[in-house]
Amino acid sequence: ILGIETSCDDTAAAVLRGGRLASSVIASPRVHAGVGGVVPELASRAHQRLIVPTVEAALEAAGVTRDALDAVAVTYGPGLAGSLLVGLSFGKALAFGLDVPLVGVNHLDGHIYSVFVTEEDATQDGSAARVPPFPYLCLTVSGGHTQRVRVDEGFQHTVLGTTRDDAAGEAFDKVAKMLGLGYPGGTVEDKLAREGDPAAHTWPDPRLDRRKYPDEPYGFSFSGLKTAVLYHLRGLADAERDAAMQGQPLADLCASCQQTVVDALVGAIRDAVAATGIRAVAIVGGVSANSRLRADAQTAADADGFDLFVPRITYSIDNAAMIAGTGHFQLAAGHTSPLDLTAVPNLKV
């Protein structure tokens, strides 16, 4: 099965053989570094440039030719319309040309599945790959999404809560933009934060106040963090602001913002484990690459006695291995898509 992912700015392709990952290629166009965010038109043009070489690279790395493919799995939403269309049109044409089934995959289902990605050579010693049992709690944290879901047998899932505004990754990206750091912000802040003091500043808690939102016990609001940092910087005189945006003060800003997000996410996981009694937790999506989140979530898992599952970093960020894997699963369940499948930018989980 060939998997294709073009929902945001990265062009990705992967090949799954017998349910195991044979290759996974991610091409990051690096057209957004100086912009501080994704520009849809730049992203879709980059996908057009990269889709053929990326798919060819994935086939070559897996040592297969197009004719060997049994199905094409492709992300059809959610994401940027122009970006989705490039991958989807390519996937449809390929499936049609090869006369194999097309499997449309929800990007969010892909992230939820990502903890099941098993590389071909990972299990050569005969040991079973470590995957969560059903049901598990899944925290999807990326540049576009923040949600907690309960995942039951057959990847049936129920949404427990989401964010009212910005996604967790957006909190990183928007703060990074204000601080003059590159895009994506999370990676840069993660690195700078290692030298900073997480307690240097106190920022608003992104978890929704239960007294104000009794119907959304699992909700978040990340926009207050960005606004608080903005007002903090605005409140400084020019020289002070320049000083705050470099060296130790910059590291302190990154570390304290990161800790605010991480505390909210880890606290939210602990609450969900306590409330549901489910003792298997996955954290997926680009923000699950964050080193502090991984470390603090593991500490919480050890303290509270739940099992934590986090994908390898290449499967945390957007990738096609998770799309091919979800496609494999859907195909096995008899779910294929018609060739007139359209891109659905606001597709929900």
Does residue 260 interact with Zn ion by CB under 5 A? no
Q: Distance between CA 117 and CA 19 in Å, rounded?
A: 9
Find the binding residues for ligand KG4 in span 291-320 (CB under 6 A): 317-318
Which CB, 316 or 336, lies closer to ligand KG4?
Answer: 316
- HSE toward the beta carbon, residue 80, CA cutoff 13 A: 22
Find the binding residues for Zn ion in span 301-330 (CB under 5 A): 318
Give 286-319 as a DSSP string.
Answer: GGGG-HHHHHHHHHHHHHHT-EEE---HHHHSS-
Q: Identity (one letter) of the amino acid at 261?
A: V
Which CB, 146 or 330, lies closer to Zn ion?
Answer: 146
- The residue within the footprint of ligand KG4, chosen from 82, 286, 311, 325 (CB under 6 A), is 286
Token code pair at residue 313: 């970093």
Quote the crossing angle between the two packed helices 81-98 and 40-62, to the nearest 10°.
30
Find the binding residues for Zn ion in span 98-157 (CB under 5 A): 142
The region of 53-61, 113-121, 274-282, 283-291 touching ligand KG4 under the rule CB under 6 A is 283-291
Under 8 Å between Cβ of 301 and 274: no
Which CB, 192 or 272, lies closer to ligand KG4?
Answer: 192
Token code pair at residue 147: 């949600």
Q: For residue 347, give the nearest of 110, 100, 44 by alpha carbon.
A: 110
The contact mask relative to ligand KG4 for 187-226 (x = CB under 6 A, - = no) is x--x------------------------------------
Q: Distance between CA 343 and CA 347 in Å, rounded?
A: 9
Could you list the beta-strand ranges (E) of 60-191.
72-77, 102-106, 136-141, 146-152, 156-162
Q: Distance between CA 219 and CA 206 in Å, rounded?
A: 9
Q: Provide, rounded to whole angstroms, the least separation between the CB of residue 312 and ligand KG4.
A: 13
Token code pair at residue 28: 């990051």
- The residue within the footprint of ligand KG4, chosen from 2, 8, 253, 266 (CB under 6 A), is 8
The region of 27-35, 86-94, 138-146, 332-340 touching ligand KG4 under the rule CB under 6 A is 138-146
Which CB, 94 or 300, lies closer to ligand KG4?
Answer: 300
Token code pair at residue 346: 């606001």
Which CB, 3 or 186, lies closer to ligand KG4?
Answer: 186
Which CB, 172 or 203, lies closer to ligand KG4?
Answer: 172
- The residue within the footprint of ligand KG4, chosen from 186, 206, 249, 311 (CB under 6 A), is 186
Contact footprint for ligand KG4 (CB under 6 A): 8, 142-144, 169, 172-173, 184-187, 190, 285-287, 289-290, 317-318
Contact footprint for Zn ion (CB under 5 A): 142, 318
